[in-house]
């Protein structure tokens, strides 16, 4: 089984579904472990039969799974872990861009202050004041892009491995990493974890997986990249459940994510969820 949340209207719902078929088994208008556990009391014996439960990194679902599905092995979903990893690596790119935007703002504010003082000086001396035009002096890189432009346009190439880049992306990446070696380090560490947390390692001995992961932890600590250190801390706290991915044939929430997409399309095709009772009746017919 797999547990995940989805938004219907403006409310978050918890959905438990069959990981193989994608069929809904349970749905509740809450994401709190205590409330979910209370709702499950009438069918608690059925949940004890669950052998594997896929979930995201939310603590509420960890507690809920411990209480309601005590016999199930918990597996943190690959999709959610990699998404969080990308959030960390992209944060490095965005922090560099924010720094540039802050410098541009300060330069413009300095220009405005100087112009204001010059205007007052001209008025005191009876001179004619002519406003100067502000000209941005942002650095132009060797490929013709400014620093803020190349950081904006490099978003998607950071999601790919090096051998997946197009020729244009490879050229841009060379300029980008020459200008920002910290971003290249974050990119390499991100891909190092992706290679570790991949299907090719399914079935590998846990001792070897732990050794490789410890090496990655050490590389993160030495990098001093805070955004990836935060991700590393999350991995350490959930290491047991992440390692379960490799011993359970790469069990993932992909079916649940696909189902969530279908539910959103279902909502759109029904022009919203104003008649909630009828909407949930139809949802049960189609998806349960």
pLDDT in tens, 151-190: 999 999 999 999 999 999 999 999 999 999 999 999 999 9
Provide the token pair at 169: 């992306």
- Sequence-distant (≥ 6) Cβ neighbours of residue 122 within 8 angstroms: 128, 129
Nearest Cα neighbor of 158 from 188, 201, 120, 117 is: 188
Looking at the fold, whether 242 and 104 belong to one and the same domain comes out as yes
| Statement: residue 115 has pLDDT above 80 | yes
Mean pLDDT value of segment 67-78: 90
Mean pLDDT value of segment 107-117: 91
Question: What three-state secondary structure class fits 203?
Answer: coil
Q: What is the pLDDT of residues 231-273, one digit of tens each?
A: 999 999 999 999 998 887 666 666 666 777 777 777 777 665 6
- Looking at residue 134, the DSSP 8-state letter turns out to be P
Looking at the fold, whether 235 and 256 belong to one and the same domain comes out as no
Looking at the fold, whether 163 and 264 belong to one and the same domain comes out as no
pTM of the model: 0.84
Percent over 70 (pLDDT), the chain: 95
Beta bridge partners of 140: 146
Looking at the fold, whether 50 and 142 belong to one and the same domain comes out as no
| Statement: residue 278 has pLDDT above 90 | no
Looking at the fold, whether 66 and 132 belong to one and the same domain comes out as no
Structural domain boundaries enclosing 22: 2-77+252-287
Looking at the fold, whether 220 and 125 belong to one and the same domain comes out as yes
Q: What is the pLDDT of residues 6-56, one digit of tens each?
A: 888 788 999 888 888 888 888 899 999 999 999 988 888 989 999 999 988
Looking at the fold, whether 45 and 140 belong to one and the same domain comes out as no
Number of domains present in the structure of the chain? 2
Q: Are 192 and 219 in contact (CB under 8 A)?
A: yes
φ/ψ (deg, to 5) at 224: 60, 35
Looking at the fold, whether 85 and 220 belong to one and the same domain comes out as yes
**Which of 210 and 128 is assigned the larger pLDDT?**
210
Looking at the fold, whether 64 and 123 belong to one and the same domain comes out as no
Looking at the fold, whether 199 and 158 belong to one and the same domain comes out as yes
Looking at the fold, whether 181 and 137 belong to one and the same domain comes out as yes
Domain CATH number, residue 66: 3.30.420.10
Q: Which residue has 């001093």 as its token pair? A: 224
Looking at the fold, whether 142 and 217 belong to one and the same domain comes out as yes
């Amino acid at each position: 089984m797999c547990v995940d949340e989805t938004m219907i209207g403006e409310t978050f719902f918890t959905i438990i579904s069959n990981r193989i078929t994608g069929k809904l088994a349970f749905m509740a208008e809450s994401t709190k472990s205590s409330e979910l556990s209370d709702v499950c009391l009438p069918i608690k014996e059925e949940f004890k039969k669950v052998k594997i439960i896929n979930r995201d990194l939310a603590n509420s679902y960890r507690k809920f799974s411990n209480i309601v599905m005590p016999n199930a092995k918990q597996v943190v979903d690959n999709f959610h872990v990699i998404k969080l990893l990308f959030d960390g690596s992209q944060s490095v790119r965005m922090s560099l861009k924010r720094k540039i935007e802050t410098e541009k703002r300060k330069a413009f504010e300095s220009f405005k202050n100087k112009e204001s003082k010059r205007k007052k000086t001209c008025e005191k001396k009876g001179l004619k004041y002519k406003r100067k035009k502000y000209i941005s002096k942002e650095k132009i890189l060797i490929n013709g892009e400014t620093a803020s432009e190349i950081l904006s346009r490099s978003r998607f190439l950071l999601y790919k491995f090096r051998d997946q880049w197009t020729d244009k992306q490879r050229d841009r990446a060379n300029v980008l990493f020459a200008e920002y070696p910290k971003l290249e380090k974050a990119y390499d560490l991100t891909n190092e974890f992706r290679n570790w947390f991949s299907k090719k390692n399914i079935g590998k001995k846990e001792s070897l997986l732990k050794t490789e992961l410890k090496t990655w932890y050490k590389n993160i600590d030495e990098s001093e990249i805070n955004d990836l250190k935060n991700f590393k801390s999350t991995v350490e706290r959930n290491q047991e459940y992440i390692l379960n991915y490799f011993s359970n044939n790469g069990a993932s929430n992909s079916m649940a994510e696909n189902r969530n997409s279908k539910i959103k399309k279902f909502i759109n095709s029904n022009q919203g969820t104003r008649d909630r009772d009828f909407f949930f009746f139809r949802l049960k017919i189609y998806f349960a």
